[in-house]
A = this chain, B = another copy of it.
């Protein structure tokens, strides 16, 4: 897990010191790790439900089953905490959505991308939601590097799409907006989970929904790009 990264980056000074003495107190180290994990998970939960300002440290502490001061012991303050949570999310996505190359088959790449993203929306709606809320509110807590990083990421992918278009592998559509389309239509199932479940008259998503929705989006979007599907 990448949790270590965050603890060393966002954790208070005292806690950072401990990083040097891991071997000394291995058992404590384990508990420490578990605690940090619990806190990050609890924080994510609360931030999603109540927003940044609306979330109280006490609520996070309660959900994590720890005293409030403990949260401040691991994370200097609320800002550090949400930074850690958000970075956790970006790492997760980066890990899942691998690289693409001009030599790949557009149909395969698009389908894989859509499928993966849909599945993420179903299995990890929380991070998706929190990320969306951050962006909606003006990305106040996404550090600059995360923002510029996103731009780079989109440009990279768009470049590949452009080459495919030049090679006649797909019809002429705006690559940047194609990425937005895929992003939004898949993310929607995480962000609007509540509304969608209400409309579909369900209690929660089922495995078959993932299949069905993936297939639906693949059909429309890939065909929309002038590629035969399936």
Contacts and interface: CB of A to CB of B under 8 A. Distances in A.
A54 interface: yes
Q: Interface of chain A, helix or strand or loop or mixed?
A: helix
Contacts of A176: 199-200
B136 A132 contact: yes
Interface residues of A, number: 55
Interface in A86-138: 129, 132-133, 135-138
Interface in A130-174: 132-133, 135-139, 147-148, 150-151, 154-155, 173-174
B188 A180 contact: yes
Most buried by B among A55, A133, A220: A220
Interface stretch (A10-18, A28-36, A63-71, A189-197): A189-197
Nearest to A153: B199
Interface stretch (A1-9, A19-27, A209-217): A209-217
Contacts of A200: 176
Contact of A173 (B194, B196, B220): B220
A41 interface: no
B216 A177 contact: yes
Contacts of A181: 185, 188, 216-217, 220
Contacts of A178: 216, 220
Interface in A194-209: 194-196, 198-201
Nearest to A54: B53
Given A137-B51, A220-B221, A223-B223, A184 B188 contact: yes
B213 A173 contact: no
A199 B151 contact: yes
A57 interface: no
A71 to B, nearest CB: 18
Contact of A51 (B51, B212, B220, B226): B51
A184 B201 CA distance: 19
B224 A221 contact: yes
